[in-house]
Amino acid sequence: MQIRLASPLLAAFFVLVAAMASAAPRIATDFSNMRSGPGAKWPVVAQIPAGAKVQLDNCGPGWKRDWCQVHFKGKRGFVPANTLAPTSSSVVVAPLVTRDITALRSGPGNKWKAIAQIPPGQKIAASGCQQGWMSRWCKVTYEGKSGYVDRNYLKRKGAVFAR
């Protein structure tokens, strides 16, 4: 009788853990999500790739909690200020680069094999990171190799507001 009761409880625990992991917000992609309002809870109306020019309408420290209002390809919305970088003639979505020498690992953690070393300041393509309990690893591609990098070693090059 105890075995029968324990099995459903164990199964329910694993379902809950899996649901929590899949519900964790994704961060640090090399594109910026343009949202209909100034916050992560607003719906995504477009994805702006790194290096794309945007028309900046309004932005400033503390403004709408560090969100900027922009126009991109006929759409108007908001992007996090820390994803934008000024250039001589426009504002662009800032690319992700490495802060320091970074190990590209075969899995999300320090125990996974390092498959490459990425020098500081190198541009990488990130498909996303999971932000959650004990999770800070980003899935990236660098020079044709796919792997994982510790999120603490990534930054936006030239971003308006660093975080």
Co-location of 85 and 100 in the same domain: no
For residue 5, tell me if it sits in a domain.
Answer: no
163 inside domain: no
Residues whose CB is less than 8 angstroms from the CB of residue 105 and which lie 6 or more positions away in sequence, other chains included: 112, 113, 114, 115, 137, 147, 148, 149
Domain boundary among 93, 110, 144: 93
Instruction: With a cut of 50, say whether residue 109 has pLDDT above it.
Output: yes
Task: Name the more confident of 72 and 1.
Answer: 72
The yes-or-no verdict on residue 119 having pLDDT over 60 is yes
Q: Pick from 43, 66, 93: which residue ends a domain?
A: 93
Query: How many domains, in total, are found in the chain?
Result: 2
In a domain, 139, yes or no: yes
77 in any annotated domain: yes
Per-residue pLDDT at 147: 92
Model pLDDT for residues 141-150, shown as the tens digit of each residue = 888 899 999 8
pLDDT digits (tens, 9 = 90+) for 5-30: 444 433 333 333 333 333 333 334 56
The pLDDT of residue 159: 73
Residue 139 domain boundaries: 96-156
The tens digit of pLDDT for each residue in 35-79 reads 998 888 899 999 888 888 888 888 755 555 678 888 899 999 998
Asked if residue 104 belongs to a domain, the reply is yes
What span, in angstroms and rounded, lies between the C-alpha atoms of 51 and 49? 6
Check which CATH number belongs to the domain holding 143 and give it. 2.30.30.40
